Chain A
Amino acid sequence: MVLLLQYTLIFASVLSLVALGGCFSEHSGIINLGLEGIMVIGALGGAMTLDAMGGQAAPAVVLATLAVSILCGMAYAALLGFACIQFSADQTLVGTALNILATALATVIVKARNMARNPDDVSSTVQYVTGKKAFIFRIGSFEFNWFMLIALIALILAGIILYRTRFGLRLMACGENPQAADSVGINVYKMRWAGVLISGALGGLGGICYITAGVSEWKFENGVAGFGFLALAVMIFGAWKPLNIGLAALLFGFFRTLSNVYSSIGILANLNIPGTLYNMLPYIISLLVLAFTSRNSRAPKAEGIPYDKGSR
């Protein structure tokens, strides 16, 4: 049971970080379908840092890993901003391109690195067994992970920033009615850049959190297995509001956890359901949830539409 709680919390942390990323971007008016790719790149930066710093003082490892993941995520998200804000590119197309590009890029980088170290090693795997320990300390049999706290702080901060600060309200105005926002002197392009970069930072954090959640090595050929899209489902289910996103993340995190721990829970193991079904479960649940919640969508009204100063 402790295992179930622990994994639910850590997967919920990943989902809420990434979903918040999507939330900031969409409130500014840019649909960020590239979150999956941003997670991969953030995870890559973080994993390399963990691998390089394994064995050093824990606080230094944690801070450096977080910083590198955030920076990688932001740099990668800038590719989305560049195409979609500066050049009015199709946001769905560019987001998808970023997802495919991220996996290819990460695979090439990791393989090149592994081959340079050992010519016989053609895998796309990064190991971070020792580095990962810096993020964890035990409370009894419960493994507390710093990311749980980070996700909680991010949720609270996001709620305050979006609804209580001038910046947040302006950001949301750009996603609802950019022409009106512009008419009162808000720079829509700048606000959208801010939204995209924040989503890059949170997506990068989510990425490193995800790959350190249950395992201590990652095969980058597999990307992050649709987790970025699960996070988008969480965001939609959470109606683009931080508090609801947190709750939705807990629900989805629970279903994702079942596939990891079902064999160690007596009742579930006795049911003799094939493990593959548990793997499918989060995707099936999110499909159902989307079917029930998308109809009266609370999506920001101007999301997905490139802002053109000249049009009315």
Chain B
Amino acid sequence: MPESKTVKQKESIWKKPGFQAVFASVICVLVGLLIGLIVLAIIKPAGAWDSIVTIVLNFFNYPTGAARLRYLGNTLVKTAPLLMCALSIQFCYKVGLFNIGAAGQYVVGAGACLYAALAWNQPWWVCMLLAVLAGGIYGAIVGALKAYLNVNEVISGIMLNWIGLYGVNMLLSKVKESTSPYTIGVASANPSAIMPSLGMEKLFTNNKYVTIAIPLSVIIAIVVWIVQSKTTFGYELQATGFNKDAARYAGMKEKRNIILSLIIGGALAGIGAAFLYLTGYEQWSCTQSSVPNMGFDGISAAFLGGLNPIGTIFASYFIQHITDGGSYLDKAIYPSQISDLISAIIIYLCGFVLFFKYVMNSRIRAKEEKKLREEKKSEGGQA
């Protein structure tokens, strides 16, 4: 028996699920960057390597520390909403639902908070709560359709994305600048709707867009992690995700759980929109003809984060980091959408993660069995 104990003690780091998830994500990132490099090289070989370095460096492209901090601030400002969208997708995926409607829930959240800020002159927290409410209700539609009418949540989500986009464009054209398609700047029209910074802007070389949205988003991610891994409610939701019928037999209300998780997912995406538009960083263009990328990038971040809320924090930052890095490319030669391409490739590669883990595990098992056999053999020889 002591032999088996020693084997257990020497359990390799490769067997730990957490390490496997991180390793798999790193591989996805590296392969994604490699393919990005190849595409750059096809467009123009001479500057390809420098360009991929530029993307990865992002704000480090600036020479001074002050400028770097300032632009790190910008990346963080956009990471907060992305993290919320990623959590929205992660949360629903744990319940077995693919919430591609997060993009639309984000859009109606943006509509609600901007309209409240500009038309009703509400303070930031009212605007934010309205965004949460709008996103939640929008998610509830997908949930109710799924739970009661068996409508595929991906298709209904996509339909609602477009309905939401056209609806919000219509709503927000009432509060747009008369000479441009953009909504009126929140900071000048209603400063009380800008989220407080609590002095954090000083940390980022007076970047006025840095607000409490950034720490709030991280806190929410931690709360989501606690709910999922430490509470009965979280356990019930995940059980529903594993096997709807088994959950029902165990006395869980699977219909309620489906709707509830999409409401929470919608609320997360909605608050994400508030985290961006209530900083004044961006104005809504009332003529935009495609759904904002934020919700879709959330899919990359959620899966790259190994579907773990804490992992999602880092993955969201990474996705936003390379997206911003893309804007520093030499625009006369390379399109900045290379970054979108890299994150899309990363999502595709995430599809292989399960298989990848399976291969890792079966290799480890094969190795261990071989070792055990050899040990037994030598033991047998001695006896």
Contacts and interface: CB of A to CB of B under 8 A. Distances in A.
A83 B169 contact: no
Nearest to B297: A100
Given A96-B299, A290-B151, A276 B166 contact: yes
A229 B289 contact: no
Contacts of B98: 92-93, 96
A290 B145 contact: yes
Contact of A111 (B155, B335, B344, B350): B335
A78 interface: no
B154 A92 contact: yes
Interface string A58-93: 000000000000000000000100011001111011
Contact of A104 (B159, B167, B344): B344
A98 B170 CA distance: 30
A88 B163 contact: no
B381 to A, nearest CB: 36
Contact of B345 (A87, A93, A101): A101
B158 A276 contact: no
Interface stretch (A179-187, A210-218, A277-285): A277-285
B200 interface: no
Nearest to B349: A97
Interface in B124-157: 145, 149-152, 154-156
In this complex, the member of B156, B296, B351 whose beta carbon has the largest number of chain A beta carbons within 10 angstroms is: B351
A161 B205 CA distance: 67
A52 interface: no
Interface string A258-297: 0000000000000000101101100110110011101101
Contacts of A100: 296, 299-300, 340, 343-344, 347
Contacts of A229: 154-155, 158-159
Contact of A98 (B299, B303, B348): B348
B160 interface: yes
A201 interface: no
A89 B348 CA distance: 10
B290 interface: yes
A233 B159 contact: yes
Interface of B: 39, 43, 98, 100, 145, 149-152, 154-156, 158-163, 166-167, 169-170, 289-290, 296, 299-300, 303, 331-335, 337-338, 340-341, 343-345, 347-348, 350-352, 354-355
The 5 closest A-B pairs by CB, nearest first: A89-B351, A101-B344, A111-B335, A97-B347, A104-B340
B338 A108 contact: yes
B19 to A, nearest CB: 22
B39 A97 contact: no
A291 B290 contact: no
25 contacts: A79-B348, A83-B351, A89-B354, A92-B154, A96-B154, A97-B344, A97-B348, A97-B351, A98-B348, A100-B343, A104-B344, A107-B337, A111-B337, A112-B43, A112-B334, A115-B332, A226-B162, A232-B155, A236-B155, A276-B166, A287-B159, A287-B160, A290-B145, A291-B151, A294-B152
Contacts of A277: 166
Contacts of B161: 226
A287 B156 contact: yes
A87 B347 contact: no
A108 B337 contact: yes
B163 A284 contact: yes
A48 interface: no
A165 interface: no
Contacts of B152: 236, 290, 294
A145 to B, nearest CB: 24
A108 B355 contact: no
